[in-house]
Structure 1
């Protein structure tokens, strides 16, 4: 049995590594070719021109490349002439409001910025203007603060750009730049911990943990405490593995976020097979290891310590389709920070998820709230197999949405072969050789890829999202609701069925003329991933409600929606 479980986990990992839709890379192409983004050099993205005007003021005109912007608050000016420092009044033009992942609510300039600088006194002789600015690209790159200087001959009115010495550039770096990344760390650690706690209640995790918790009621005290900490270590270390993979992939140029592995049909099918195997074990049809949720025992030589550890690891695997409240903000922050800070946030997320089980292992009061062990536990074990079967069925549907109905049918056939392999293995003897051959056939069936489905037609009144579509709607005075979703996101599907696709909300959208846009992240899409990163998010769901006014920043709705929340947000929309 140990060999079969290891093979299942290996299969899930290898098919994911093969890439989305099981497609092989083209000869000579980069494995990251679809994720690469070409950015302009900073001197081409933002081109300033300075002129001395007749009345003695300075006009600084910025030409900004399309899809790039400059921060209003990052402008700084220092003017000197032959008599010394000259105070200067910077008259900045109106700017667009937006929510930025680095600075929060900010004002930015697109296309151009026309700035008038008014010296406190007339300039004398040769003057020097030092300018500091900072800009970003919509596609996700932020340039470091940039320092430039201009020499102004007040006698002739000529202006020339000059180079700044390197020490001066370093000295002019904003004092808060080094600490700005860390100033939100305590809050993000708290958000991550709360998100981890709530993750235990999500539908993809709770059934898996329930019997492990009940097992604590009858375990010996020393074993119970030891298993609680081993479970916690499995959770935390698994989150750190996920964090390391995310950080490494993003560093290599790939646009990925929480749940990225579910964008690969191979991983989805492997996870579905795992749920099928667990369900068969709970039903008593096959036996994987000893007690339920000591699935890790099949990876260990004896005892239950390793099983407790791998239970924690398995809990993280099955949690991947879910995003809890507070979690999206914390993970978005983590993936924009240095690796040490990112790992600290993921550690807090794991600690939050592990905390209830660790507490249960140590608290007699908490254990008294659990029912007494008895024969009913066997019936509950069998009943909990059905949510696992339902989850597997849903995962097969996700694979079909990603890679076509033929892929889904082949994967279901592979699940049948997997069940046969597990049954053959449990009978022992020579049949175990047949079980291994059957398992190979199941893996082959799960590796089959049919023709990917075309783009599905959206519901009435729903269109595909793009930033251009948002700007177009706002320009004509239409509010916009954007739903960032995926077929593998359980939280997204629950919000859509219970709130967004109800008659009440659809009528409210129609009454207020709200344009409903869907950003479907079921398969990998670097454009969506880049936008999420700019919103400070690494995963979904994300719900944005834009007022019907050009350039107006969106309202961010909670990850768990209620009808009342959406209706209140609609009522609060300003008139266009």
Structure 2
């Protein structure tokens, strides 16, 4: 049975990796290219270049203001010396409702026009335009993507007139037609109750000729994007009722783009002046990603990061997710205390090998996925409902073995030791694998800085740091086996071990309950029902296998077949889970706490507010402990209220590119992350293990106000 269940778990793990962890390829969803209007450019001239993006049906990219969620496309240019590009000219977007959100963007195909200027003294025979386009493409899920784009244009004589490329003429004409025109009519803003009314003073409009009006503000938080926009047309012109983002502070001016159909033709007009956009540099220099914000790990070296990782791994052994597994393995070692020293030491080495192999495999997969464009971090596998369910099923089988419901192998741990009756070294190896898997929801002190450093380094350096983390996790058990004399202080093997084995089953059951709670945050009702049904089937399979062990002949064969059928049915249920994902951000937010978005954070900082950012996840045990022991304390809540601190909570239970981007900005690869901002000043980074005193001291220092 243990061989069967191990193969089953490995198979589902592989399915999880293929189906849930590896993102859809963005290149299959967006075809991006650079196109130029002229066939050649002359020194001292400016040419129109387009960033062309063609999306798969049903998918979209974003406008300069993405609305309630999302990120606009960005181009990091790599240009010859002296060549410059101006601001992007954004076509008028569409309103794109997704669940309860309203986004602004483009479906089908869009061409973002960019002016490219060539200096008069340019002496090359061609102009190479290149850069990296970064974008977020979304349906109901969002996938970050990037494309390396390049275009080479020959250089014509300085006095040569521009030569349009016939193949691009129609494309650029269509792109220009999609741009909003400067409004030839005056506009004004008035207030009516809880709404503001944008009026376009254009007389002579026939009400039945105007329809499908929409307004797209340049500011990301000035309007309630998802609210309906009510159009009226009268003799004075066109009027559009809009709901402010903050009813207490309605906007006094409202620059943006107004679109409406007139006699069936869509028209777009720019209202007011857009905020200035920075032009690309005119000097040749490959554009790079924003420099990470300096944090406490800014001076890390390879060896200091490896040392922090080793300490973090040691502390992981005390975490509630790891301790039950480790204690069960130590109990099995007690049984072997009278055996040869060499055999005990090999068990320790096998366990260490399992931990190290698992950490290196996870690190390699994480680096490969990030290199492929995935926006993920440490603990990423638990963002997959499939992985969460498989881990819960494995721990349930382990708990049933400890409770004596089913005998999985001859070893006392019951998990893996039956893979071979000769020595059980494979059992120790797979216990190390299991310890690694259940350790990933936890973030110990020292870990965040070390793992964040590792993921910004070359692969060889990253693997050294992750190996150090694994060695720290394995070290206590390894030390116990290398010095087996320490086992003599423990009681001699006896009946007490069977009692303790049964007691240790209950922390394992508690871990199963916690994993099902995590699953409930990730999937909808149908997915949760499938996950719970899987628990029943695993229990039934264990019962049937035990009947087969005790039976013989046709009865035993039938019981084995029944157990196998139950496991196959469980695999079918697991396949349902990823298709019933909960809506991103649907996790309930506590009273007085707002859900995190980068746009909301930027708006609050722009107002000079003090903001506490709590990056958490349902599967992060460290996060949950910090929530209960520090953040939910009455003293902390009172300090937040007294100092006007706005709390934004980012839920990373499921993948969220905005949260991952902020984590990476502060040199972290996973949650928890706690940031305290005051206005536009850079954030203070709080420790990963919080106490009420730590939070209060940070508020007092950052807000500059005395606490009660």
Deviation at 1:255, TM superposition (A): 1.4
1:478 alignment partner, one of 583, 603, 609: 609
Higher relative contact order (CA 8 A, sep 6+): 1
Per-residue CA deviation, residues 496-542 of structure 1 (Å, 9 max, x unaligned), is 12211222211111111111001111111122112211211111111
Match of 1:18 in 2: 19
RMSD (Å) for aligned C-alpha atoms: 3.6
Q: Which residue of 2 aligns with 1:527?
A: 658
Alpha-carbon distance in 1 for matches of 2:352, 2:343 = 14
1:434-445 equivalences under 5 Å are 434-445=562-573
Q: Secondary structure at the match of 1:250?
A: helix
Change over 3 Å in CA distance of 1:26–1:469 after alignment to 2: closer
Check conservation: 2:673, 2:688, Cα contact below 8 A: yes
User: 1:13 touches 1:267 (CA, 8 Å); kept in 2?
Assistant: no
- Cα distance in structure 2, aligned partners of 1:503 and 1:233: 46
Structure 1, 458-467 or 336-345: larger mean CA deviation: 458-467
Q: Are 1:424 and 1:434, in contact at CA under 8 Å, matched by a contact in 2? A: yes
Distance 1:453-1:442 versus aligned 2 partners, 3 A rule: same
Residue 41 of structure 1: aligned partner: 77
Superposition pairs of residues 544-563 of structure 1, within 5 angstroms:
544-547=675-678, 549-550=679-680, 552-563=681-692
Aligned length, in residue pairs: 464
CA deviation after TM superposition for structure 1 residue 292, in Å: 3.6
Deviation by residue 1:236-280 (Cα, 9 ceiling, x = unmatched): 111111111111111111112111011111111111101111110
- The 8 Å contact of residues 334 and 490 in structure 2, kept in 1 or not, is answered as yes
Question: Is residue 139–residue 530 contact of structure 1 (8 Å, CA) maintained in 2?
Answer: no
Q: Equivalent residues in 2 for 1:121-520 (5 A)? A: 136-138=288-290, 184-219=301-336, 220=339, 221-293=341-413, 295-300=415-420, 302-364=422-484, 366-428=486-548, 429-430=556-557, 431-449=559-577, 451-454=580-583, 455-520=586-651
Aligned-partner SS, 1:217: helix
What is the deviation of 1:368? 4.4
Q: Which runs of 5+ in 1 are unaligned?
A: 50-64, 68-109, 116-129, 142-179
1:480 is displaced (CA, Å) by 0.7
Residues 23 and 446 (structure 1 numbering): CA distance in 2 closer, same or farther, change over 3 Å? Answer: farther
**What is the alpha-carbon distance in structure 1 between the residues aligned to residue 667 and residue 455 of structure 2?**
9
Which has the larger Rg? Answer: 2
Gap regions ≥5 residues in structure 2:
32-55, 62-69, 88-115, 118-132, 136-275, 549-555
- Normalized per residue, the structure richer in helix is 1
More strand by share: 2
* TM-score, reference length from structure 2: 0.60
* CA–CA separation in structure 2 for the residues paired with 1:270 and 1:253: 26
Measured in 2, the distance between the counterparts of 1:371 and 1:564 equals: 41
Q: Take 1:488 and 1:229, find their aligned partners in 2: how far apart are those partners?
A: 30
Q: Deviations over 1:399-437 (max 9, x none)?
A: 221111221121111111111111111222121011111
| Contact 2:355-2:433 at 8 Å conserved across structures | yes
Q: CA deviation at 1:376?
A: 2.0
Q: Distance between the aligned counterparts of 1:45 and 1:339, measured in 2?
A: 35
**Separation (CA, whole Å) in 2 of partners of 1:385 and 1:332:** 35
TM-score by length of 1: 0.73
Take 1:359 and 1:456, find their aligned partners in 2: how far apart are those partners?
A: 42
Is the CA contact 1:5–1:298 (under 8 Å) kept in the aligned structure 2?
no
1:268–1:226: structure 2 CA closer, same or farther, 3 Å change rule? Answer: same
